[in-house]
Amino acid sequence: MPPIDDHPLRYQLANELHARPFPIMSAPSSVVFLAIKRRENAVARDRAADIAHLTDLLDRHGVAHPQPGAIHYSGQIGRHVLKWEQHTEFVTYSVLIDGPRDRAFDPVDFSVFPKDWLDNAPGERITSINMHIMPMMEEGTIEASLANWFVPESLAASYVLEKAAMIAGDFRIDPSGHMRFALFVDPETGDRRIGRIVQRLCEIETYKSMSMLGFSRARHLSGQIGEMEKRLTELMVAMTEERSEPENTLHSLLSVSAEVETLSATSSFRFGATGAYEALVNQRIGSLRETRFRGRQTFQEFMMRRYEPAMRTVKSTERRISALSERAIRTGDLLRTRVDVERSAQNQALLASMDRRADLQLRLQHTVEGLSVVAISYYAVSLVSYLLYPLANATGVSKPMLTAVLTIPVVLLVWWMVRRLRARLD
């Protein structure tokens, strides 16, 4: 078979499916997780700064640097395993700490990230997780541990993957500033499967935190949207009652429309990203295949009660902005129709006025023509009379009689000549 050329992206695209392998974990162990995001314009951030920040951490442990342009890295730092990933808006650091811990959720575990290194981060912490992984215990023992670690009111706990493990968390920030998740694994659960569960939990928390940014934006915009809706309604009422000048209404409408379009442009990415993150959260929870643990709410139920209302608020705000934009367009169409109708009425009035003026001009023209016939006839009769006076003396006809005889034919002749001249001009 003759050789065939590969597409230049063939290997890159094939390897992308394997670019972010799941960690390999065992019980007992711990995981500390950190997600960093720039506050503004995170998508267009300088990604070289992310690499430089990772390189700084690796240099402190004398570890080789990642490849240029890398979007993920996995390697040993001291006694622990570091996993780094670069995403569209944020970067994540996961440190896998093998072996039992003297204290569950010990904030000392985060000392793997030096304070001065954290202070120089190219962004801000969007979330951090302290995860405690233990072998499966009796349900009563697990219940007692959960009562000590979490807030009962918001605790979610469930078996996952056909009871291969049990997960728990209250989605609250603890006094050390981290989210807590507990993971109890069955002795027969493999290390790779444990790693997949750990990554799913980290993804659920990270994507949940990122999607809540859209909720914060929606609440911030609520008052502004309400004000624009009020202004647009007032414009519609004014147009209905015809108590506003079209020019003033157009100026106000352009102002509202510009604000709506600006609002839509500045919020479209965040709301779109929120929808994508929400879908990922639900997909990651669904992949865990939860079953109930001792009557506790599952992660899915927790999200349904606490998380989904926030996401519905985001979707409602997005629909309000879209509806506001459509209303502005319809208002503009109505205003344009009103202006066209008024302009048509003005044109009709102008045409009627022009018709009246044309009629007056025609009457005046006829009057002038009549006067012209009289004037021309007067002079024509006088001229002809002077020419025929010698003949009148010879025939014995008086001058008045001659003038009277000539008047009728001359007037008719002049009238006929004027009519013919006007017909030629028309």
Query: Token pair 């890159």 is at which residue?
Result: 12
Q: Are 284 and 203 in contact (CB under 8 A)?
A: yes
Q: State residue 366's pLDDT score.
A: 67
Query: Token pair 């890398």 is at which residue?
Result: 70
Give the pTM: 0.78
Q: State residue 8's pLDDT score.
A: 86
Spatial strand order of the sheet with 72-77 comes to: 72-77, 80-86, 90-98, 29-37, 124-135, 179-185, 165-173, 156-160, 291-292
Angle between helices 399-425 and 308-395 (to 10 degrees): 150
Q: How far apart are CA 32 and CA 202, in angstroms?
A: 10
Q: How far apart are CA 23 and CA 83, in angstroms?
A: 8
Q: State residue 364's pLDDT score.
A: 72
Q: State residue 15's pLDDT score.
A: 73
Q: How far apart are CA 345 and CA 242, in angstroms?
A: 15
Q: How far apart are CA 6 and CA 292, in angstroms?
A: 50
Q: State residue 247's pLDDT score.
A: 66
Taken in order 346, 351, 355, 360, the sign of the CA dihedral is positive
Q: Is 352 left (phi over 0), alpha (psi -120 to 50) or beta?
A: alpha
The two three-digit tokens of residue 417, written as one number: 């000549």
Contacts with 305 (C-beta within 8 Å, 6 or more apart), sequence order = 297
Q: Chunked in runs of 10, what are the mean pLDDT values of the chain (426 residues)?
A: 78 73 89 95 92 95 88 91 94 95 91 94 96 96 95 95 96 96 96 95 97 94 90 79 66 82 89 96 96 95 94 94 86 71 76 80 70 70 71 66 71 72 66
Q: State residue 402's pLDDT score.
A: 64
